[in-house]
Structure 1
Amino acid sequence: MNKKISTTYLRYSIWLTALIVVVLIVLLALTVYTVRERSIIELFSQQQASIAEQKASRINETIAKCEKGLVMLAGNASLADDDPAVREKLLQTLYEELPGIILTVALLDGDDVIRAVYPHDAEPGMTGNSIEDPAVVHAMKKMHQRYMGELTVTDGPTGPSAKTVAIGMPIIGPAQTYRGALLAVLHPGFIVGRRHPPGMADPGDFWLVDESGLIVFHPDSAVIGSSIEDLSPPGDSPFRMFTYADRHYRDIVLKKDGGLETCIAAYAPIRIGISQWWVVLVTPHEKVLGPVRRASLNIMLGAMGLIAVTIVTAVSIARSDVKRMRLKEELKRLKEREEWQSKLLREKMTMEGIVEGSPVPMFVIDKNHRVILWNRACTDLTGWGPEEMIGTDHYYKPFYEIKRPFLADFIVDGNAGDFETFYGEGKVARSETIEGAYEAVKHFTKFKGRDRHLHFLAAPIHNEKGEVVAAIETFLDVSKEVELTRNLQEYAETLQNELEENIRLNREVEKLYRYLQSILDSLPDKVYELNRDGIINYVSRQIRPGVYDPKGRHFTDYVLPEHRNFVITKWEDAKKGIFRPYELEFVNKEGKKRYLLMTPGPVKGTDRFVLVERDITEFKELEKKFYESQKLAAIGQLSAGIAHEVRNPLSSIKMSLQILEKRLQPDGNDLKRFRIAQREVEHLEKLVSDVLIYAKPSAPAKAPCDMRSIIDQALAMVEKSINDKEIDVVKNYQEPVDLISVDPSMISQALINIFQNAVDAMDHGGRLVIAMKIDHAALTLEIEDNGCGIPEDDLPYLFNPFFTKKSYGTGLGLTQVEKIIDQHEGSIQVHSRKGEGTRFVIVLPRGMV
């Protein structure tokens, strides 16, 4: 019974054990299958991502090669050839260099019109059309830059349009002018011919997706132009993985034949101009896991067969298989770990070799501020070796006597804000080239026996999580650079001071030049500077507008031909050191004779000469007038002598006539003849008196007088003439009229001459206006008539001796008036026009009353 129970128990135990083992085997098989499937998918995804990156790299290289070919072709001078065959041959050369990649090569002229296309059947109807894409036109025509970006092409006039890549290169002519461009349109499916290297399994379907998520290339042409979102079920956004995923692969679910299909999508970015596209490699899970699933199913069927034969054997086989699988996985992990360790060791040795061989002194500290690397350059600069530094925090000792933090310490601790505590405000700056790095320049007075300026630069070292795990710090001896900078600054300051001094001196020279120039320009003389050959280098006064500038010409070009030999002789004398002034005479454009005085002279310290031109025409005229005045003075003296000699006989004749008239008492014609003789004698007496007054004027006997009484006396002397012509005399006197210091007889004689001339100039019934006003300094007397006036040409000679237009008189009346006014230190002015009357204005100083 117990044996049966034991047997039953053993049977049930075996069956239970077998059942348990079977269940475990099934569960273990399912678990191994799932893990194996996930591992295979992960490894396959990484492989696909690598293939996508390689493909993106090859696409970029192909685009660069195409761009290089366009640059070489754009620089080919044969493109300007008018022969279409030559241009087509050049386009064909570029097309055949990249077979299967370039869809079309087009040549554009300066108006963006397509002039040549190769091959001809690639884009029918393209020739003669313009490029309408504004981005293409702006980049090449406006900016003179290459264009690389999207372009929409059409398959024939009515065919569907597709987006592809275009590379444009402007053709720049002389003077940076835009002469046209070369445009290469790439085939969006040129990756088809290079899907995978020979011998490698088909990796899947390649897609080309632009930056907006539209599919540019797909093996299924019906999908091209659709959004990648349209191929996914609602709620799933696979396009976001391109921007936000931290890996270059993931699982996506796509619609297929009315259902859904899980696929592996590996992707890599490519740069198209300013846009970013993606190369996407899509492989269905079924395609990857199909062979694995078949193998796993066979294993499970074999296991179940073994279980049916013998549970114990199945359990043993299952246990052995599980153990073997675990050992295999563990062995695989150990092998991968060894490979990674070996790779890290090689990279470590490479980095240590680079750092150790670097000429820049540097060291690295870990999070505990312990030195983990101290290169040879550090040892050469500080004298401390790596054996003394590695593993310690003594890196401060070569620089400071006491321990203090370095830039690397602050970076490791994350306390970048504490720099100013140890280095001072503004001494530490963020590096412009290395992210997260800081730099500073420190001066050491006794570093290895001399002053040094060291430049420190510290940067963080991050792990794969972006955490700071260490920091590297370099330091360079920049003493020479600092000294050079200081010397340059001092030199710049010296140059600045010299420049300011030169500017000041230049301003003073300019000021002196303007001062001398203004003096020369204000002089009536014109100054010429001549070189030894007689070429004019400078003229003092500005040349009038429209007059040719004489600078650079020989001065004899401006000398009249009749004077040229004479001037050349004087010029030769001047070059010999004989400087004598000479005169030149010429007739100007108005026909007037002018005289010039030319005075040559040397410019001391040079071989140049100065020639001063002075217009002495007025001087000549004054000289002539002086000689004439001397002649007139002589004539006056002669006239005075004659008048003095004639005066006594005239007095005797007058007296004799008066005696004879009394004795003979004639009548009739005899009396008339006596009267004529007496009148002529009186006329001769007046003439003699005028000549004597002009020739030998006496000094005025001044006395305080009332000007009104003097005027009345003068009017009384010409009263008969005034009454004969019934002339209206109007007096306008300012009241009250003060006394004035004058010689009454002389002033009366002057007024008589003016009044008599006014009466003679007026017709019957004329008007004579006498106005007078007086102030504290002078008396102003105006005498105006409405007579015939004086011609304008006669006004300059009005006060000249013996000048008269009358048929009688001496012409000395107004000369006497002017002389009398001058003797009283006054002035007289005449304002007159022919037919409008005459106005005399006399101003007399009041003098001492």
Structure 2
Amino acid sequence: MKKSNQIMNGSLPDIHHHKSNEALVKDEDFQQVGMLPIPFLEWIDSESNQIFSVKAINGDFCYISSNIHRILGYEKGEVTRTNILSWLHPEDYIYVRSKVPEETNCKVRLTYRIKHKDGHYIWIESVISRIRYKNEDYFIAYSEDISKMKETTEHLARSEKMNVAGQLAAGIAHEIRNPLTSLKGFLQLMEAGVDVDGQYFKIMKEEIEKMESITSELLYISKPQPHHRKTVSLQSLLNDVCTLMRSQAKLYDIDIHLTTESDQILLECDPSQIKQVVINLIKNAIEVMEEGGVIQVRGFQAESNLIIEVQDEGPGVPEQILDKIHEPFFTTKENGTGLGLMITNQIIKEHHGDLEISNAPEKGTIIHVTLPNHSR
């Protein structure tokens, strides 16, 4: 069987030579391939926010709904002369190519960005099926503009970031007060005429750098960040977050231990968003550990993926609600909103990753985040 990503290679030629789009809509074979009645196709064209398309395995469009103009700005005729790869956002290119079904009777749901005719990108969610009909393979896709939903989610994410920053304030104030007390003591010694040697200056510098690191991370998560992906050190990213969260953890008699395989492991991501993911996971771990203990944060590479794990020593998650945890706004906390985990899931999904939650063998919960390693 030919690889399905052949559909992603090269340009899309004119449709079946002598057949027009309109003729194909009425073609009995097309109806069977598309498995949709004509009235429904007409409704999609006039009312739906979805684009419906059927593609041959070699990349030819057999049919695409007219509302592509309303959603993406293109006319039907332009689609047949356009390379589909030129529509994809560069950061989603590898992801889409790797996920297109390679076997018949398979279906995938993909979220990615695609270029509007005027040049800006919109978020699209597609359900793509691969079917076989009369010894030919076809792709059937239902694609929907989810840009407004994404805007709402991002607004909620910004609100949650400010909420987290407020909750961290008490711990950070305590963490900054200690080095300030040390600095004040050294200055009083100097004011009294005590000879302060180089070792004390070294300690003072380290205390200032510690405060600078904590306040910088707090500012980083508090203010809006442009969504730009870049290659960063996984170890450095996790260390920044753990440094910030240790001040909060200490208030509850909790230590945070960070383990990474190497400082050479690189992650292609939006650093602001992935930091928010790890902050949310550690914050949740702190909240469930009523008797203190240790939170383990691990970062490592596994084949073509990068793994981030956060393990707590709390009571674990009851088996009967494990499947519900991924539902929007689901929470077991008395005053919780469920926003934190919902936003975490959304960010990971945007990075084409997965999140799994399981109970540790002895006690506690392990949250396992898998992200594709595109930087290899």
TM-score (norm 1): 0.18
Q: Which has the higher contact order (CA 8 A, sep 6+)?
A: 2
TM-score (norm 2): 0.39
